Amino acid sequence: RAALAPFWLRMQERSDTLTGHALVVDGEDTFTAMLAHVLRAGGLEVTVRRYDEPGLRETVRAHEGPLVLGPGPGDPSDTADPKMRLLRALAAEAVRENRHGVLGVCLGHELIAAELGLEIVRKEVPYQGAQTEIDLFGRTETVGFYNSFVAHCDEDALRELAAHGVEVSRAANGEVHALRGPGFAGVQFHPESVLTLNGAAVVRELMGRLCGTDAFPARRPAL
């Protein structure tokens, strides 16, 4: 029986840890509502917009606050998919130019990883509600995964990303659990899931680091 996040088992009072207005891009995933709730509980005002909403790119460009690229189904490497073409372009521009921080969750994380030049591969066995312990930037966290695709980072890529100020948390087989760099961060797991025991705190920490930072200066060459 999986342990469940205390955040979802008790009444929550809004925190003032975070301030500002987050724009969440919904990639067609019901988890987006839970993610928005966690962000609001951390103190942020939150607006959610579907990825296919008319004028989304202009909305993102005009937004004065952190951007969250949310979860959703699909292969981020499938350039024949109009949804992925749109989201890849949105992620590329956001990582290059957003001055208020960008957080990617699951699909959003994969989009950021792809923009950094990492290979996105299909998992042999998809995760659909897998609770496991990972090393998250030097500490152990119990998290919930729901992904069919994953970014892969080998030793060469790890060194090159580090040279650009990007830190990667990964499994022994190279699967990327999380990454963070100047003005952006991404997590493959769902911090808003009941399976991620410390998810609300993870979101607060990542968003706190992002708010007010400068974006990644330029797209790095593909590996």
Q: Which residue out of 100, 109, 177, 190 is catalytically annotated?
A: 190
Q: Which residue out of 106, 109, 110, 115 is catalytically annotated?
A: 106
Nearest-5° angle of CA 65, CA 48, CA 119?
80
Residue 146 contacts residue 106 (beta carbons within 8 Å): yes
Distance CA 207, CA 188 (A): 15
Residues pairing with 135 in the sheet: 140
Tokens of 223: 């590996």
Q: At what angle do helices 107-115 and 82-97 cross, to 10 degrees?
A: 60
DSSP-H helix ranges across 8-154:
31-41, 56-62, 82-97, 107-115
Residue 106 known to be catalytic:
yes
Residue 211 known to be catalytic:
no
Q: Which residue out of 110, 115, 141, 192 is catalytically annotated?
A: 192
Catalytically annotated residues: 106, 190, 192
